[in-house]
Structure 1
Amino acid sequence: MAEENKEKQETLSRRRFLRNTGFTVGGLAVGGILGSLVPRGKDDNKNNPPAPQDQDFNQALMYFTPEQFRITEAATERIFPEDDNGPGAKALGVAYFIDHQLAGDWGFNARDYMQSPFFPGEKVQGYQGRLKRRDIFDIGLRELQNYSNTVGKKNFEELSGDEQDKILKDFEEDKVNLTTLSPSGFFQLLRSATLEGVYSDPLYGGNKNMDGWKMRNYPGSQMAYAEIIEKDFQKIKPQSLQSHMKH
C-alpha cells in the first residue's frame, strides 16, 4: 500500500510539473495546447472549474477584427432578421460562418481563376475583378462604416434598424460613391454569404443548433433514408455532419 501511494504521489507530481512548465519538444518548451493535453487528477480541478458543457468552441474569430465582426453581425441581422418564424442571422452565428470562410480557401478565391487581364463583366458572368473575397470584405466593411459615420454620424452597429436598412439599400443601389469596389457587388456578396451561413451545416460556424434547417423542416445531413423510404412522409429531426464525425 505504501508503495502504491508513493507511485500515485509521484504521478501527480509529474503531471503538475509537465502542466506548469510545458512539454519539451526538440529542446523547446511548449505549453498552451500541448500542455493542456496532460490529464489532470481530481485534486487539480479545485481552483479550475470545468468549462460549461454548452460552450460552442466553433464560435471564435479566425479572420475578422472585433470591429469587423460587429459590423458584419449587425448587417447580416438586417438582411436576415429575427421574426415570428425563428432566429435571425445574429442568433444563428452567421457572422462566424463568414469569418471562417474568409479565413479559408473561399476568402483567398483559391478555386477561381484570378489572372489578368481584367475586364468589366456582364451581370451573368459574376465577379471579374482582381480583389479576393477577403479584400472585398475588408474594403466593403470599412466603407460601410465610413458611410454610416458620414450619413448617420454613428458607427453602423450603433444605428437604428431603419437607419441600417437605408445604408445597406444605398450600397445595393450603388448610391455610395466608391472608387475601390462596386457597392452593389459588395452588398450582393454579403447577402449571399448571409444566406449560406443561415442554411449551411453547423460544422462551418453558422446555422447554430440547426435552427435554420428547423425553420424549413430540412432534415440536414442524414446518412440514409432506407428505413423510411417506403413509408408515408415523415418529419425528421435534422442531423449535422458533426454528429456523423462522432461515430
Structure 2
Amino acid sequence: LFQVGGAQALAALAYGTRTVPRVDVIAGPGNLYVTAAKRLLYGEVGVDMLAGPSELLILSDGSSSPRFAAADLLSQAEHDQEAWTLLITPERAFADRVIEELEAILAETPRREVASESLRRHGFVVVVKDLQEGMELVNEFAPEHLELHLKEPLSWLERVKNAGVVFLGDQTPVALGDYYAGPNHILPTARAARYSSPLGVWTFLKRINFLYYDRGALAEAAKRVVPLARVEGLEAHAEAVKVRVEDG
C-alpha cells in the first residue's frame, strides 16, 4: 500500500521506482492530469478507462417530485464546472417545475458558483414525444449515471442498453451510490458506456487463446491454409504447413 497520488504516482506504477514496484494494470479515476497520464501510459501498462467529467441523466415520466429531480441534478452539478446534467421527460409542465425547483435550491447551495457554471455549460432539459423516444436518447448519450424516475422503473430496465449504472426509482439517488450502496463507482463516461463497463474483477482478468491440431486435422486444414497463404504471397507460411503434411 502506497500513499501517493497524481500523475507522478502513475509514472511510478508504470515504470517502477526504488520503492514502488512496476505494475501491469492501472485502474481508478482522477483529475485531468491523471487522465492525461493514463492516456500517455496506455500500452506501457493496461488502463481501465479514460474517465472524463461526471454525468447524470434523469429519465422521468413526471410522476415523481420535481424537487427530487432538481436535487439530484444539483448534486451532480456541484462536482465541477465540467459536469453534465440532463433531464429527459415527455411532460413539459414537469420540466418547468424542475427548472423552478433547481433555481430555488441553487441559490442556497454552498457550491452555487461551481454548480451554476456547470449548469450553464452542460445542463440540459429535453422534452420528448414519449418515454420511448426518451430511452432512445438515453442509449445514444450512454450516461455514466442514469436515474429512472418512472412509475415502473424495473419494466424499463431491459431497454437500457448503454449506461454506466442505473438507479431505479425516485428513491435511489446517485448520492446513494457515491457513498454507500452497490458495487464500485468507477464508471465509463463520455459515451464510453457504449462499449465498456464499470470497473470490476474482470478488469484485472485476461484470456489466453490456445489451439491444438493433430496430424489428420492439420492435413485437412492444409487444403485451405496453403492456397490462402499463397494468394497473399507468403510462401513461407504455406511451407510451414505443407512440410508437416508431406512429412506425414
If each structure's strand is expressed as a fraction of its own residues, which one has the higher value?
Answer: 2
Whether the TM-score (by the shorter chain) exceeds 0.5 is no
Query: What is the TM-score when the length of structure 1 is the normalising length?
Result: 0.23
If each structure's helix is expressed as a fraction of its own residues, which one has the higher value?
Answer: 1
Q: Which has the larger radius of gyration?
A: 2
Query: What is the TM-score when the length of structure 2 is the normalising length?
Result: 0.23
